[in-house]
Every structure is written in structure tokens, then in C-alpha cells.
Amino acid sequence: MASAVRYRFFLYAGVLPYLLGAAWAFRMEGSFHPVHFWLGLAGILLSVVGVESFNEYFDAAMGTDRVFNPSDDEHIPEWMLWLGVAAFAAAASTGLVLAARAGWPVILYMGLGGLAAVFYVGPPLRWAYRGLGEAAIALSYGPWMTLGSVHLHTGAFSWGALAASAVPGLLVASLAVVNEIPDFHQDRLVGKRNLVVRLGRRGGVTLYLALGAAGLAVCPAGACAGLFPRSALLAGACGLPFWLASARTALAEWDTPKRFVPAIRNIVLCYMVSVGAFVLALAAGVP
């Protein structure tokens, strides 16, 4: 199971936006409910297990990862599908409990995230195959997760939190795009018409760097505009060295998949450091 469920999503893509919403509610709105926090965190982790199980199962079923190595039979057992179903069902049950405690908008955020998660590669919608996968990831791990987390504590919508959610949303979209660049030929051959397949690898490099730069710029822009505490001013700068390192590799090695890997690794670090620093800045900052 450890090889199938990718723990990197536990560590940054799923948990950090949720923590960002909790930090916003605690510091900027003055509200925090520990029971809601832990129930919500359990729901997030269950959802991530479901997403990864579905992705592994349906990617293997489509043969995406072995286009150029057909003899490499990547067998994904049937239970992987049912693990995803069970995880999503448990996450939905947790969401219903939270909706009863915190209000019906929890169901809205849960439903939007569920549609993105279940049908990212799952039939019949297959967002990733229609050029909509990157947007689904950005919305799920940006506004929907952050605002849903805020609502658990405040019971209300927050425009400031929406602005804050652009940091993880844009950076995780950058990560989604850069991760597609080495798989350009495989994705194109199986009909996975994501944005990199549509734009080409050079266009994909331009897009992911632009998304990453925009995500890093949100922190200082929001702090200067008075939306975020002053302590958030430098949060984006923490990830800038990793963005620059990724850019250097990508611009030189965009057509060499094996040598391109450090570009992906550095965007992962950029995401983790920037969003983590932003969470800390909000939690410790002065509104």
C-alpha cells in the first residue's frame, strides 16, 4: 500500500491548505474549534487516500505509465479501486458530521472537492484527459480546501481567506503542470490531453513558471494591500530560491525527461516552504 498511496500528498498538497485555513480562522477571525479541526483533518487524509487510490488504479487501467515499456506489467489489484471507494465514503461520512455541526456549506465544499477528486482520472468525466485536471487540482487544493477549513471554525465565508488560498492554489497548479512535462509523449499517446499536451513542453515550462511566480507574489502583494499580516510579507520570498533553481533546470532540460526531474523536485520544495511559511506567518502574525 505504501507504494500505491503517495505520501507526498499527505505532506503538502492536502494538509498545508487545510492548515492555512485553520491559521486564518485562528488569527484573522479569532475563532478555532479543536474538534472540528481534527475531524476535518481526518476527512482530508481520507480524501487524499481516495484520490491516490483512484489515480493509481485508473492510470494503470489506461496504461499511461507503460506506453514505452509494454512488457513492464504494472499490476494494480482490484482492491485498490475499493480502497478508494471506502476512503471517499468515510470522508463523506466525516463531512456530513461536520456539516451537522458547522453548517451546510461544508457539504458544498465537500461536494466540489469530491467531484474533482473522483473524476480527475475516473470515468466518465476524466478531467485530466480534457485539459481540466490542472484547474481541478488548483481549485481543490486552493480555495475549496482553504475556505472549507475556515468555515469549520467561523461558519462564514471570508474574502481575505479566498485571497490567501491563491498561494497554495497557484503553486499546486504549477506543480501539476511541471509534473506533466516529462510524461508528454506518454500522455499524448493515451489521449490524456492535459495542458502540456495542448501547449507543448516548452509552453508547459512557461505556464508552470508563470503560475509559480504568481503564487509567490500573492504573499507580498496581500501584505502590502493590508489583507495579510505584515509577517506574511516575506513568506513568498522563502520559496523563491527553489523556483529559480527549478527554472534553471527546466529552461535547459525541458526536452530531457531524466535530467528534468530536479525541476519538479524544486517546485515541490517551493510549494512546501512557501505555503508552510505562510501558515506560520498567519498563525504568529498580527491581524
Taking a C-beta distance cutoff of 8 angstroms, is the pair 87, 63 a contact? no
- In this prediction, what percent of the chain has a pLDDT beyond 90? 44
pLDDT, position 74: 55
In a domain, 32, yes or no: yes
pLDDT of 60 strictly over 70: no
pLDDT of 286 strictly over 70: no
pLDDT, position 150: 95
pLDDT tens sequence across 144-179: 999 999 999 999 999 999 999 999 999 999 999 999
In a domain, 100, yes or no: yes
In a domain, 2, yes or no: no
Query: pLDDT-derived band of residue 140, with 50, 70 and 90 as boundaries?
Result: confident
* CA distance readout (Å), 177 to 54, 172, 203: 19, 9, 10
Query: pLDDT-derived band of residue 249, with 50, 70 and 90 as boundaries?
Result: very high
* Backbone φ, ψ for residue 242 (5° rounding): -75, -35
Q: How many CB atoms neighbour CB 52 within 10 A? A: 23
In a domain, 14, yes or no: yes
pLDDT tens sequence across 258-270: 899 999 999 999 9
Range of the domain at 28: 7-284
pLDDT of 63 strictly over 90: no
Query: pLDDT-derived band of residue 250, with 50, 70 and 90 as boundaries?
Result: very high
Q: How far apart are the first and last CA of the chain?
A: 43
- Number of folded domains that form the chain: 1
pLDDT, position 2: 34
pLDDT, position 287: 54
Cell of 95: 463531512
CA angle 237, 241, 243 (to 5 degrees): 95
Cell of 49: 487516500
In a domain, 139, yes or no: yes
In a domain, 31, yes or no: yes
Q: How many CB atoms neighbour CB 120 within 10 A? A: 21
Amino acid identity of 156?
A
Q: For residue 146, what is the domain's CATH number?
A: 1.20.120.1780
3-state secondary structure the chain: CCCCCCHHHHHHHHHHHHHHHHHHHHHCCCCCCHHHHHHHHHHHHHHHHHHHHHHHHHHHHHCHHHCCCCCCCCCCCHHHHHHHHHHHHHHHHHHHHHHHHHCCHHHHHHHHHHHHHHCCCCCCCCHHHCCCHHHHHHHHHHHHHHHHHHHHHHCCCCHHHHHHHHHHHHHHHHHHHHHHHHHHHHHHHCCCCCHHHHHCHHHHHHHHHHHHHHHHHHHHHHHHCCCCCHHHCCHHHHHHHHHHHHHHHHHHHCCCHHHHHHHHHHHHHHHHHHHHHHHHHHHHCCC
pLDDT of 100 strictly over 70: yes
pLDDT, position 241: 96
Find the range with the poorest average confidence among 2-16, 74-88, 103-117.
Answer: 2-16
In a domain, 1, yes or no: no
Higher pLDDT, 98 or 115: 98
pLDDT, position 80: 74
Mean pLDDT of the chain: 84
pLDDT, position 45: 83
Higher pLDDT, 73 or 53: 53
- In this prediction, what percent of the chain has a pLDDT beyond 70? 85
What is the spatial distance between Cα 250 and Cα 264, in angstroms, rounded to a whole number? 9
pLDDT, position 166: 96
In a domain, 12, yes or no: yes
pLDDT, position 7: 44
- Dihedral sign (CA 179, 197, 183, 73): positive
